[in-house]
Amino acid sequence: MDADDLVILEGVRFSHGPRRILDGIDIRIRRGSVTTIMGPSGTGKTTLLRLIGGQLRPQSGRVVVDGEEVPRLPRRRLFELRKRMGMMFQSGALFNDLNVFENVAFPLREHTALPESMIRDLVLMKLHAVGLRGARDLMPSELSGGMARRVALARAIALDPMMIMYDEPFTGQDPITVGVIMQLIRHLNDALGLTSIIVSHDVAEVSAISDRLYVISQGKVLDHGTPQDLERSPSAWVQQFLHGRPDGPIPFHYPAPDYAEDLLGPDAT
């Protein structure tokens, strides 16, 4: 194992019943990097995050985080490892009955024995880092979608994790909010010495802040590399995905009988 690799997935296979979601996935996430996993909806991107976090176990293959084989960890050690992982969910997943301050303070109260004075200082520091120190007393219902995700990010870094996973962080946001979240992901990654894993299908946004990109489809890695590498990818599928072309290896038309025959019947001439 390369000491520079924080996360390693080797030959990972995972199925839901008869449906194969991941079919021999190989991915390496380098320490200190921003790495994005891209692909169409339903290709197993979020499943990969759950495998890394130990919520799911692969049917075969290895999932290694910081030298630990996640599927083999006993519950106690798995929970200890998870404390070193932050997660920003697509919806933000804030506690609706707690204000902004209490949402960010929650993991500190749950997992540490710090005095309240120190918790207060840490919460204000994390909120300041995402530009929302002045919103500490607001309830989640009073926040915009972008603000809710920034609070979720402050909560994700509350315990100073080694790694943060982002599940579709840009979905449904306006261009200004997207720009803010992009800047925060890159800035916090570098300033705090984090490793960031982004799951997304927003090509332009993630290409601007990622060190490496993986493109997956039909359970396999189709190509990977720097954003510049992928622009030169020989894969027609990758090129169709990156440039949003409506037809290509992924056809516009769902498989169907001949059009004329379907309209006029089999006896049409």
Is residue 77 a part of any domain in this protein? yes
Q: How confident is the model at residue 251 (pLDDT cuts 50, 70, 90)?
A: low
252 falls in which pLDDT band (50, 70, 90)?
low
Cα four-point dihedral sign 160, 198, 228, 186: negative
Q: How far apart are CA 232 and CA 207, in angstroms?
A: 14
CB of 185 closer than 8 Å to CB of 198: yes
Domain assignment present for residue 95? The answer is no
pLDDT of 124-153, one tens digit each?
999 999 889 999 999 999 998 888 988 998
Which tens digit of pLDDT belongs to each residue from 27-76?
999 999 999 998 877 778 889 999 999 999 999 999 999 999 999 999 99
- What pLDDT band is residue 14 in, cutting at 50, 70 and 90? very high
Q: Report the first-to-last Cα separation within the chain, whole angstroms.
A: 65
| 267 pLDDT tier (thresholds 50, 70, 90) | low
Using only C-alpha atoms, what is the Rg of the chain? 21
Instruction: Tell me the angle at which helices 116-129 and 100-111 cross, rounded to the nearest 10 degrees.
Output: 130
Most confident of 54-68, 80-94, 229-243: 54-68
Residue 74 lies in a domain: yes
Instruction: In whole angstroms, give the CA distance from residue 172 to residue 146.
Output: 9
Residue 87 domain flag: no
pLDDT (0 to 100) of residue 69? 94
Q: What's the whole-number mean pLDDT along residues 155-175?
A: 87
Domain containing residue 23: 1-82+198-269
Residue 148 falls inside a structural domain: no
**Is 161 a domain residue?**
no
**152 assigned to some structural domain:** no
CATH number at residue 252: 3.40.50.300
Q: Is position 112 within any domain?
A: no
The pTM assigned to this predicted structure is 0.85
Structurally, the chain folds into a number of domains equal to 1
Q: Tokens 């992928």 belong to which residue?
A: 230
